[in-house]
Amino acid sequence: MFASRLIRCRRAPTTLLPALHRAYHPSRLPTIDQAVTTILASSPTPSLAPPTRHILNCLVKNEPGVLSNVSGILAGRGFNIDSLVVAKTDIPELSRVTVVLNGDKNSVEQARKQVEDLVPVWAVLDYTHARVLERELLLVKVSTNGGVGVSEEPEEHILLENESLSEPTHAHAAFNPLMTSSLQRQSITELARLFGARIVDVSHESVIVELSAKSTRVDAFLKLLRPFGILEAARSGTMAMPRSLVDGLTDEQAVESDVEAVDATLLPPG
């Protein structure tokens, strides 16, 4: 009886092998259920992680058409480029392309590899989780008039009350816009000093302020300048460079020392 059971166990695999062989034979087409099951099993599951901010640093040859190829690959994958900065390095034949975009980690990694496969591209580095130094240049033209003017009715009332007065009264009335412009210019200068910016051009009606800082600090500076009246603004985009580790410090200590102090200008009043 034990021998018969042993024979059955030995013969069981031989009876199943022909069935599996016929089911997966290359000459036989799979059924719809098998095809759909195979496609669903091999398809990757969509990522539920929110899109994050990525900084890609591309080292490319300084030749025509490279920028269009890089931006074309990113646009073809549906990425909206937040910032794109291209400039030559200390080597004339080598350029650095800094791209800032938001997207899924896997999609950005596939796009990075596709950009790196281009012939004029030497390397593509992802600075998303690296300790980098970010800077952005801002040039903004701010009005010194501020839209503050004396209405016509009070001016006529002052002239009627002071008809017997001489010319100094009229000179004092004409001097009020100059005082307003001077006070506004002082306020803008003080605000620029708090943010570490500098005035690069001054005229009777406007001033031009230059600021080099992180993108978030530039946004806060523009928000505070908006009540004065922004006439024109130009931003260069984010430029990034990895920080150097200090000798004798571990990565955790370096990250802790990299935390900047809270800027008082970004806090609410009080």
* Residue 231 confidence (pLDDT): 94
Shared-domain flag, residues 83 and 118: yes
Q: Does residue 37 fall inside a structural domain? A: no
Q: Does residue 163 fall inside a structural domain? A: yes
Of 130, 151, 181, the domain-final residue: 130
Shared-domain flag, residues 150 and 123: no
Of 105, 130, 155, the domain-final residue: 130
Q: Does residue 182 fall inside a structural domain? A: yes
Q: Which domain holds residue 84?
A: 52-130
Shared-domain flag, residues 141 and 240: yes
* Residue 76 confidence (pLDDT): 85
Block mean pLDDT (10 aa), the chain, length 270? 46 43 60 81 67 88 88 86 89 90 86 88 88 92 68 41 46 60 90 94 93 94 93 92 69 48 56
Kindly report the pTM of this predicted structure. 0.61
With helix as H, strand as E and coil as C, how does the chain read?
A: CHHHHHHHHHHHHHHHHHHHHHHCCCCCCCCHHHHHHHHHHHCCCCCCCCCEEEEEEEEEECCCCHHHHHHHHHHHCCCCEEEEEEEECCCCCEEEEEEEEEECHHHHHHHHHHHHCCCCEEEEEECCCCCEEEEEEEEEEEECCCCCCCCHHHHHHHHHHCCCCCHHHHHHHHHHHHHHHHHHHHHHHHHHHHCCCEEEEECCCEEEEEEEECHHHHHHHHHHHHHHCEEEEEECCCEEEECCCCCCCCHHHHHHHCCCCCCHHHCCCC
